[in-house]
Structure 1
Amino acid sequence: MASIPRDDCNTYKYKDITAKEPEYSTLSYTWGRWRVKDRPEAPPVLPIKNTPWEIPAVEETHFTTENFQKVIQSIHRTGVDWAWIDVGCIDQRRGSTQAAVEIGRQASIFKQAKSTFVWLSRLDSIQLAQAIDDILECGGQLYDRVDIGNEDVDFDDVMDKLHKVSEYLFSDPWFSSLWTLQEIVLRNDAIVLSTEGESVPWKVARQDQRTYMTMLINHCQNVYTSLEKALEKTKSVYSQPYPDKTMNAIRRVQQLILQVGFYYLFSTNPNVLFGTARYRTTKRREDRVYGIMQIYGLCVGKSARPEENPSMEELVIEFAAAINHNSAILGQFFIHVSQPKPGYTWRITEASTVPRSLMIYRDPNSMATINIDSNGNCIAAGKCCQLPILLSAAEKSGEITPLQAVKGWGLDFKVLLDGHINGAASFSAAHQEHYIVRRSSATEIDLKDVLVLWLGNVQAEFSFGSNSHLRRNAGLLLSVQNYNTDECVLRYERLGIAIWRTGEKPKPFEEPVRSIPWEWHDQLVLG
C-alpha cells in the first residue's frame, strides 16, 4: 500500500501509476483514543509507503494491524482499487496545515466516494451477525406486541433480549466518536464490517444481504417509536404497570438509541446532531467543532485558514456565527437545555435540544439576519413586534392554552422556552400582568417587555386541502438583558422560540397574525 498525493489537477502519480479522479471508497472507524506514543515496544503499524509522516501505532486491544489489513482487503474485493483512509491520507504530524485543509474537505471526500465502510473493530463476525439477527427479531416482535396487539408475544422477554443486544452492539467505540457521527451523517449508506473486516449479513425476505447502516438506523427508529407507544399505553387507567426490570430496559434502550444519534439521524435540522454530539468523544477539545462542522456544510477555524490557530472559545463563536450568517432560522432552531453563557444566549451549544416541532428544516425563507460585526457584537435585524401582540393575534385565531403549549386553531401556535426560563402557568393577551421567570435568579420578565424577531419560515407538513405544503414560521423571543450607558446600547438575551403555521393560500383564521404591524429593527444587539 502506498499513500499517493493529489496534484492541482486531481491527478495521482506514483512510480508507474497515474490516475485522474479515480473511483475510491472511504473508511469510517475510530482510533485516536488508542494511539500509542513514546513506548519502546510499540505495536506494529499499518504498512503504508510514501508518507512523510510516521503511521501511528494503535493499542492492539482496540484493533490489530492484521485485522486492519483484512478491512482494506475487504474494501478492495468490492472492485475499487483506491481507498481514502485517514492515517495514510491526512498528515499525522502535529500542527500540520495540510491536515487542517484535508479535515475541511472531509464532507466532499465522503460524499463523492463510491462506497463507505464502517469498521466496528471490537465486534467479531459471529457475535455481530447474531446481534444483528437478534435486533431484527426483537424489533419485529416488539412491533407485533405493541403496534399490532399480539398478546402471544412475551413483552418482558423481548425487552430483556433487546436490552442486552443493544448494550453489546453500541459498546463498540465507533458509536462514541464524534468524527464517526459526522461521517455517518454524510454517508448513512455505509456498509458494516466486523473486527475481522467481514461484512455482516442482514436477513431480509429469506435472503442474506450486507448490513448497511441505513438499515440499522431505520430499525432503531422503529424500535424507539414502538417503545414510545408502549410507554404511552401505561398511562391508561386500565393498563397494568410494567415490572421494574422491563421499565428499566425500555428506558435504557431508548437512551442508547438517542445517545448514538440514531433516532433523529435523518432529521433535516442539523442542530439535532449537534445536541447529540455531547454524548460523543473527541481527543482534542477543538474537535468538538471540527468533528461536526461539515454536517452544516461549514469550514471554519484552522480548516478554513491553515495559517491560524484560533482558541476553543474563538472557534465556538466563529462556528455559531457562521451558522447564523448562513441562516438566522437555523442558527436559532433549537432550545437551550441549560442556562447559556452570559452574553452568548444567541449561540447554540452542545447543551441544546431540538423539539419535534423544529425537526424539519427545508426550503428556508429567511426574513432576518444575525451577524457578528467588526467589534465582535452579535447584531440582528428584521421585523419585530411585542410578544403580547403576537399572543393576541393567536388568541383571535383560536383557543389559547398554557404558555408551554399555546395552540391557535389551524395555526399550531407554540411558545418554546429555553431551559433556564420558567413559563407562567397560563396567560391571556387581555391580562398583560403575566410574566415569565428566569429560573436561576427568579427574575420576572413582563410579557410586554418581550420582543419577537420574525426569523422567517420553513416548509411544514403537506396540506391536502390546499394541495401545497404549509409553512412553519419562527420568531426569536428577546428580552432586554442590560443597558450599557457607555455605549448607549441595549443588549437582548434570547428566551426561546415562538412558532406558528400558515398556508401558502391565506385562510380566514390566519388574518390576525398576518395583519400584525411588524416594525423593522436593524440594530438589535444580542447577548
Structure 2
Amino acid sequence: MNIDEDHPGFDNEAVWPRRLLHVPSMTSYKWAPGNRYGGRQNPSYIAVSYTWGRFQLRHPDENPHVCALPIRGISWPVPRVDPDVHFSVDQFQHVIYEMMKTAERHYEFDYTKDQRTLQKTPGSWLVRPLLRWLERHRMVYEFLWLDIACIDQRPGPIQMAEIGRQARIFQNAAHSYVWLSHLSYDILESILDNLRVAVSGLDQEPYNRTEPPYNCHTWISQAIQSIGDLTNDPWFKSLWTLQEGFMCNHAIILSKEGRVLCDTSRVVVRSFSLDNLFGITYSIIQWSERTRTPCKDLELLRLMDLIHKTGLAALFCNNPMGLLGISYNRNPTNELDRVYGIMQTLGPDFRVGTDSTHRYTLNELENEFGDAILRTCPVLSQMHVHLQAPAMGSGWRVQANSRVPWMAERGDMFGWNCGNRVETNIEISPLALCSLSTCNVGNTLWARISGKACDFEDLQRGWKSADNSEYANKINQSLWRMHGCTDQAIHMIALDRGTYLDPQPPGLDILNVEASHELAAWMTEKSRRHKLVVFLLGQCSFNMEMFCSGVIMFKREEHGISHWCRVGICTWLYSHMREEDKFHPLWSLLKGDSENWYHIEGLFG
C-alpha cells in the first residue's frame, strides 16, 4: 500500500499528524486538506508519551473479558492492555480526559512566599472553589495525539511513515505530557521531595577544599533510593519513550491518576516537567565533579551509574549522542528499534534504514546511523567517549557503550542545530574544520579523515603556558566555566576506556586547573612510545568566546591495516588570549593556525 493511499494529498513532510483523536467523541479523524480533522481546521492538540507494548494482551483468548479503549473511526484493532500489571481501560479513559484540561493546574495565590504552605486568603476561599469546579468539568482541548488511535497498528508503510514523523508531531503539539502510570500522586510527590532534599544536602558540601571533610553518604543513599523508586516506573524502561522524553523535555509529568505536580522552586509556580526532573539530576552531576568523596566510593559509583543507566543524564544533555548507549539498557520488542527508536532525536528529517527491500542487521543499521551522523554533523559525531574498547575499524562511530562527557553536553556547540533543551540567548556559531567520510575495507566500514593535526605534546605545553600567562585570569569571567567549577583550565579532556591510557590516575578527572594539567602531562609521559596527535574537528564562537574541539589519537597498524586510533576527545578555549589587537604568542597555536599544525589523512577507527 502506498503511504498516501489512506490519506490522499497528505504531505509526509508536514508537521500535522495523519490522524488526531477527538476526545469528546473518542473518534479518530483523518487529516483532510486544509489541515482539517472532523471539520476543525488547524486544531490545537496535545501529545502524550506513555508505554503499553510490554503489557499488551496479544491473543484474543488471553483474558477475553478485558476490553480495549473504545475508539471510533479506525479500521485496526486497538491493543488491549493487561490491567493486572499495567492500567485498566477506565484508568486510561480518566487520564485522557484529565489531559484535555489546562496544563497549569495550580493557583499561585495558594502559596506563601516560601511556596510550600497554602495561604488562606479571601481570594483563596472565594475563587479557588470556582477554579476547581471549572478544572473538573471544562475541557480546554478537544484533540489528542495518541499512538494507538492515530498510528495504524497494522505493520506496513503507513505505520512506518507515521512512526518516522513523531518528532514533527510532538513539536507541533500545544504541549505534551508524560504519564507515569505506576506512581500515585502521593508517592510521586514524596519521591520528588526526598530527591530535592538529597540534592540540597549534597550541594552543602563546601567548594573550599581546605574545609573539613563533608559526609555525603546520607544524601547519596537518599538520592539512590529516590531515583530508584522513580525510575521503576515502566516509562523509564521503554525504548520509544527515550526518544519522546528527549524530544519533549518540557513535557508535564502526570501521576497514575492523571494529576500534575507543582514545581515550587521558582518564583512563579509551574507544573512539574521533565525539565525540572532533569535539572535536579544535573545538580547531582555538577556536585560529583567537585566532591571530595573518593571517585571509587561504592555508593557514589552506584549513584552515578544509576543516573547514567536510567537515561536521566543523557536526557538532560543537549546532545543526542548518548542515547544509543541508553537504548541498550532498555528492552525493545525489536532489536532494530535501538536505532529506529532514537534516530529522530538527530532531527525530523534524519532517517536511516529506509530500504524496505533490505533486511537489516543491527550492526548494519548502527553503521548507517553512525555514517549519517558523520556526514551531517562531523564534529558532533565524535563528541562521546567509549566505555569499552570498540572493535577494530568501528571506533569512529557512536556505540552501544558510548556516553556523553559533560564537556560535550551542549550539542549545539558542535554543529547540532535541532536542540531546544538549553534556554539561552547566547548566539552560537559552530564550524567544522575537518573532512570525515566512510569506506569499506574488507567487511568493515571504516571512517576516513582528512584535516589538520598537532602533536599532543605541543598542545599540552601550549595549554600549560596559556594558563600561566597574564591572560589566564580572564577565564574566570568567561562562559567557559560551564560546570560550576571554582577554577577551570583552558582545556578539557575526556578519555575513552579500553586504551593504553586506561585507567587514568585517580583524582585527575576533576575539572579544575591543577588536575586538568596533571592529566595532560601524564598523557604526554605515558605516550612516549605512541605519538599522540590532536586532530582538529572544528571551532565554535559563543558570545565573544571561541574554542576548538579535537580527537586525541595515535597511528597504529593491526592485521596489515594502518589507521588512526582514538583515545579520547578534547576542547580548549583560545579567545581570551588576545586583548583588542594584541595577540598572545600562543594565539596561533591554540586557534589551529600555527606551523605546529600539519595535514594528515587516512583510515580512522
Structure 1 and Structure 2 fold alike (TM over 0.5): yes
The equivalent residue for 1:475 is: 551
What is the CA deviation profile of residues 221-242 of structure 1, one whole-angstrom value per residue up to 9, with x for unaligned ones?
224444665x41679xxxxxxx
CA distance in 1, matches of 2:287, 2:458: 39
| Shift of residue 524, structure 1, vs aligned partner | 2.2
Asked if the contact 2:433/2:537 (under 8 Å) is kept, the reply is yes
| Shift of residue 18, structure 1, vs aligned partner | 1.4
CA distance in 2, matches of 1:327, 1:377: 18
| Shift of residue 348, structure 1, vs aligned partner | 0.9
CA distance in 1, matches of 2:93, 2:28: 15
What is the CA deviation profile of residues 175-205 of structure 1, one whole-angstrom value per residue up to 9, with x for unaligned ones?
1223222212211111111112222344457
Report SS of the residue matched to 2:332. Answer: coil
Counterparts of 1:272-287 in structure 2, within 5 Å, are 272-287=322-337
Distance 1:169 1:496, change over 3 A: closer
Residue 364 of structure 1 pairs with residue 388 of structure 2: no
Asked if the contact 1:456/1:475 (under 8 Å) is kept, the reply is no
Distance 1:502 1:274, change over 3 A: farther
| Shift of residue 128, structure 1, vs aligned partner | 1.9
The equivalent residue for 2:368 is: 318
Asked if the contact 2:324/2:338 (under 8 Å) is kept, the reply is no
Tell me which amino acid in the other structure corresponds to 2:550: A
CA distance in 1, matches of 2:98, 2:313: 29
Tell me which amino acid in the other structure corresponds to 1:420: G
Report SS of the residue matched to 1:27. Answer: strand
| Shift of residue 29, structure 1, vs aligned partner | 0.7
Asked if the contact 2:547/2:571 (under 8 Å) is kept, the reply is no
Q: Give the number of aligned pairs.
A: 479
Alignment match of 2:585 (pick from 497, 508, 513) = 508
Distance 1:497 1:397, change over 3 A: closer
Distance 1:346 1:393, change over 3 A: closer
Asked if the contact 1:55/1:87 (under 8 Å) is kept, the reply is yes
Counterparts of 1:415-494 in structure 2, within 5 Å, are 416-423=494-501, 436=527, 446-448=529-531, 452-459=534-541, 468-482=544-558, 490-494=562-566
TM normalised by structure 2 equals 0.69
Distance 1:512 1:169, change over 3 A: closer
Distance 1:207 1:138, change over 3 A: farther
CA distance in 2, matches of 1:20, 1:525: 54
Alignment match of 1:257 (pick from 283, 302, 307) = 307
- Give the percent of matched residue pairs that are identical in Structure 1 and Structure 2: 25
Counterparts of 1:69-108 in structure 2, within 5 Å, are 69-78=93-102, 79-94=140-155, 96-108=156-168
Alignment match of 2:317 (pick from 253, 267, 276) = 267
Calculate the aligned-residue CA RMSD, in Å.
4.0
| Shift of residue 37, structure 1, vs aligned partner | 1.1
Residue 412 of structure 1 pairs with residue 412 of structure 2: no
Distance 1:146 1:503, change over 3 A: closer
Tell me which amino acid in the other structure corresponds to 1:102: E
TM normalised by structure 1 equals 0.78
Counterparts of 1:375-394 in structure 2, within 5 Å, are 378-385=446-453, 389-394=455-460
| Shift of residue 218, structure 1, vs aligned partner | 1.6
Alignment match of 1:4 (pick from 20, 29, 34) = 29
Asked if the contact 1:453/1:477 (under 8 Å) is kept, the reply is yes
Alignment match of 1:169 (pick from 206, 214, 230) = 230
Tell me which amino acid in the other structure corresponds to 1:516: E
Alignment match of 1:109 (pick from 146, 169, 185) = 169
CA distance in 2, matches of 1:67, 1:301: 37
Distance 1:282 1:481, change over 3 A: farther
Distance 1:280 1:351, change over 3 A: same
Asked if the contact 2:339/2:369 (under 8 Å) is kept, the reply is yes
Asked if the contact 2:383/2:404 (under 8 Å) is kept, the reply is yes
Q: Any gaps of 5 or more consecutive residues in structure 2?
A: 1-25, 103-139, 414-428, 468-474, 476-487, 506-517
The equivalent residue for 1:65 is: 89
What is the CA deviation profile of residues 458-480 of structure 1, one whole-angstrom value per residue up to 9, with x for unaligned ones?
347x6xxxxx2131331352424
CA distance in 1, matches of 2:52, 2:519: 56
Residue 48 of structure 1 pairs with residue 48 of structure 2: no
The equivalent residue for 2:109 is: none
Tell me which amino acid in the other structure corresponds to 1:471: F
Asked if the contact 2:460/2:520 (under 8 Å) is kept, the reply is no
Distance 1:209 1:358, change over 3 A: closer
Report SS of the residue matched to 2:379. Answer: helix
CA distance in 2, matches of 1:226, 1:520: 40
Residue 496 of structure 1 pairs with residue 568 of structure 2: yes
Asked if the contact 1:370/1:378 (under 8 Å) is kept, the reply is no
- Which range is displaced more, 196-205 or 175-184? 196-205
Residue 18 of structure 1 pairs with residue 43 of structure 2: no
